[in-house]
Amino acid sequence: MRLRYIYISSWLLLTAIAMPGFLSAQETIPADTLESNENNIVISDTISRKKFISRLEFSIDYFKLISLAMPTELKYEGSFGLVTKFNIGIILEAGYGEKTPEDYIRNGEYKVYGNYARLGLNYHFPYLPGVFFIIGANYATSRYQDEATFSIESSLWDDFNGSFERNNLEAQWTEITLGSESKWKSNFYFGFTFRLRVMISQDNFSLVEVYSIPGYGRTFMKSVPAINLYFKYMLNFDKKAE
């Protein structure tokens, strides 16, 4: 119950921060074009309104791609988001994680792998042209499985070889995020996100616990800090936001 209060409080904090920008945002209406002569005045009613969706964003976590060269770990992650004219953004992140720790089971092999997704709300603070600070909150879920083979050696009896596999495991957690991104060139940006993950629920086992949850981290930690480094392509509909 306390974790739910933390999650709800984080969303209320984000809403309180974003609301002043929402209330103060105004539509962009350029000056009317006037044409006059001796007898009449014609007013051109051409009004340009700011689009509700300011930009679309696509990103990839390039730091996770380093895991492609690691023998015991494989991770990749990408995201899609949209930002409104009030600087409030909605983001969907998805990824895959796999770990094969060498020392988790003695005389055996262990592997845990699965997919995860996050859905979040954030607020973008324009700092300088092409530079944003971002604060947000996410709800995340992971579906994964683990498997192992092991051998118990004995000098008195025959060795015992065994294995196990646990499927359709699930976990849910919430996140508070802080980050920044800056324009590299054209519509391309580099950024980072610091996130604090707080576990809500997970599948637990008394004999051999799951080593790590894809997208979250080690299972014995009820809160996990993490950093993402990403490369983003931003499709702007509002050029002034660049």
pTM of the model: 0.77
CATH number of the domain at 204, please. Answer: 2.40.160.20
Q: Could you tell me how far CA 194 lies from the centroid of its own chain?
A: 10
Q: Please state, in angstroms and rounded to a whole number, the distance separating the CA atoms of residues 190 and 228.
A: 11
Q: Does residue 162 belong to any structural domain of this protein? A: yes
Q: Does residue 36 belong to any structural domain of this protein? A: no
Q: Are 197 and 187 in contact (CB under 8 A)?
A: no
Q: Does residue 40 belong to any structural domain of this protein? A: no
Q: Are 109 and 149 in contact (CB under 8 A)?
A: yes
Statement: residue 178 has pLDDT above 80: yes
Mean pLDDT for 215-227 is 94
Q: Please state, in angstroms and rounded to a whole number, the distance separating the CA atoms of residues 10 and 12.
A: 5
Mean pLDDT for 58-71 is 91
Statement: residue 231 has pLDDT above 50: yes
Q: What is the dihedral of CA 229, 235, 240, 242, to 10 degrees?
A: 30
Number of domains in the chain: 1
Q: Does residue 34 belong to any structural domain of this protein? A: no
Q: Does residue 86 belong to any structural domain of this protein? A: yes
Q: Does residue 33 belong to any structural domain of this protein? A: no
Nearest to 90 by CA among 139, 32, 155, 126: 139
Give the least confident one: 28-37, 68-77, 121-130: 28-37
Q: Does residue 46 belong to any structural domain of this protein? A: no
Report the share of the chain in percent with pLDDT over 70: 76
What's the pLDDT tens digit per position in 71-125?
A: 899 999 999 999 999 999 999 999 999 999 988 887 889 999 999 999 999 999 9
Q: Does residue 38 belong to any structural domain of this protein? A: no
Per-position b or e across 91-110, b if 16+ CB within 10 A of its CB: bebebbbbbbeeebeeeeeb
* Domain extent at residue 192: 2-23+51-241
